[in-house]
Structure 1
Amino acid sequence: VCFEQKSMWILASVISASLLTVIFLHGLGDTGHGWAEAMAGIRTPHVKYICPHAPVMPVSLNMNMAMPSWFDIIGLSPDAEEDETGIKKAAESIKALIDQEVKNGIPSHRIVLGGFSQGGALSLYTALTTHQKLAGVVALSCWLPLRNSLSKSVIGSNKEIAILQCHGEADPLVPLIFGCLTVEKLKTMLNPNNITFKTYARMPHSACPEEMMDIKQFIEKQLPPID
């Protein structure tokens, strides 16, 4: 399935079709196919899963090698310079994908947005800045982009959004401290009672069966079947 967004095309693996949707964004250098397979393992029959593919672009962190990436990553320290223009452009493309689902008849409050690593970072930023009220966010092994420019005043329709944030305690690429700093920041901007932060012992920069079951339970809670 292709989604045309201005000058950019996003391809996506789509599982099922329904009145409820999960949009899940992969990490740097990956595609949507792997996460489409992972979601197929925990899928709920009444939910459609869309796993878009990021455009291919040079990435500063990887010596400007071209690879699938939602935006440029310049460094991996908490104070590293960020690709503000690229992050905002990527968020607009995901908002357009959400808008397309709404045009297809799925209310935005029946859409869960999620992602892993860079995709998780983009899902958080998009949820905090979109006018569409979403059902929830699944943020895996990630961080909050442009966190210093985000505050309660910029959040649109999702001040009460439910967030499941997960992180591996042995993550060497996006260390656990990124997850801890992110959840602390989110709790200053959103209702802290709606934020769940789970960590997994010995899990590196990947997923594990326990985490996948937590994701499944979160999705089923936020997107119950429609009578």
Structure 2
Amino acid sequence: MCGNSMSAPLPAIVPAARKATAAVIFLHGLGDTGHGWAEAFAGIRIPHVKYICPHAPTMPVSLNMRMSMPSWFDIYGLSPDANEDETGIKRASENIKALIDQEVKNGIPSHRILLGGFSQGGALSLYTALTTQQKLAGVVALSCWLPLRSSFPQASANSANKDMHVLQCHGDADPLVPFMFGSQTAEKMKSLINPANITFKSYRGLPHSACPEEMVDVKRFIEKQLPPISDE
């Protein structure tokens, strides 16, 4: 592979059906790309919302015997006490904040931008929302965990998102990111932001993936957090 291995192709985008007055930035999981999620959002699209599904850069991943694959940061293990790639997580978070800034420059205020992701992408979306000065519309966190959780609440002391709404979803048959991680993450989140604004939904029999029922819940959450603006 030649060139800069840290660079990634342009995001997959589902444009708004009319003028975009809100945006969803959604981050895929390890080894994936944004294309599948762009297709999923095209199926539940809301006319005034633009969906941006960036692709992670390709890098060697310790968890998978250092094989190179799309990954937002390195993962050493999936146990609660595994070491974490603090430098990589923070770098990836800064890149997502830059993506949010780009949409603000494009005319969508940050409080009309919802951040989300699946698995590793969901982990990064939670971390970014808790450490950014950009006031966001909320977070959709699917089948994931909170990275560097021992660095909180200090890391979220200056966050603009103490009152953001979070929809966290997790399958109760997840063999990769155990359901317990999801429920523990929801409890940790309740100690960091307004607990009344956190919704944790479980899906019976769902492994490490999404399901139609979950996508309906995601759509309802987006509709609630990103309603149309009255002059549309």
TM class, shorter-length: over 0.9
* Cα displacement string for residues 124-147 of structure 1 (whole angstroms, at most 9, x for unaligned residues): 000000100000100000000000
Q: Hey, what does 1:146 align to over in structure 2?
A: 148
Change (3 A) 1:10 1:161: farther
What is residue 169 of structure 2 aligned with on the other side? 166
CA distance in 2: counterparts of 1:46 and 1:72, whole angstroms: 35
| SS of structure 2 residue aligned to 1:22 | strand
* Inter-partner Cα distance in structure 2 for 1:171 and 1:100: 35
Partner of 2:213: 210
Output aligned runs, 1:11-50, within 5 Å: 11-17=10-16, 18-50=20-52
Return the alpha-carbon distance in structure 1 between the equivalents of residues 210 and 195 of structure 2: 25
Shift of 1:9: 4.4
1:79 aligns to 2:81 (yes or no)? yes
Identity %: 75
**Superposition deviation, residue 8 in structure 1:** 4.1
The match for 1:194 is 197
Q: Work out the number of aligned pairs and report it.
A: 221
Superposed CA RMSD: 1.1
Q: Return the alpha-carbon distance in structure 2 between the equivalents of residues 11 and 85 of structure 1.
A: 23
Gaps of 5+ in 1: 1-6
Quote the offset at 1:154 in angstroms.
2.6
Residue identity matched to 1:161: M
Contact 2:8 2:55 in 1 (8 A): no
CA deviation map 1:141-192 (0-9, x unaligned): 0000000001065341000000000000000000001101101100011100
Deviation of 1:10 (Å): 5.0
Runs (4+) of structure 1 moved beyond 3 Å?
7-10
The 1-side partners of 2:178 and 2:211 are apart by: 17
The equivalences for 1:122-141 within 5 A come to 122-141=124-143
Partner of 1:156: 159
Inter-partner Cα distance in structure 2 for 1:154 and 1:75: 28
Deviation at 1:16, TM superposition (A): 1.1
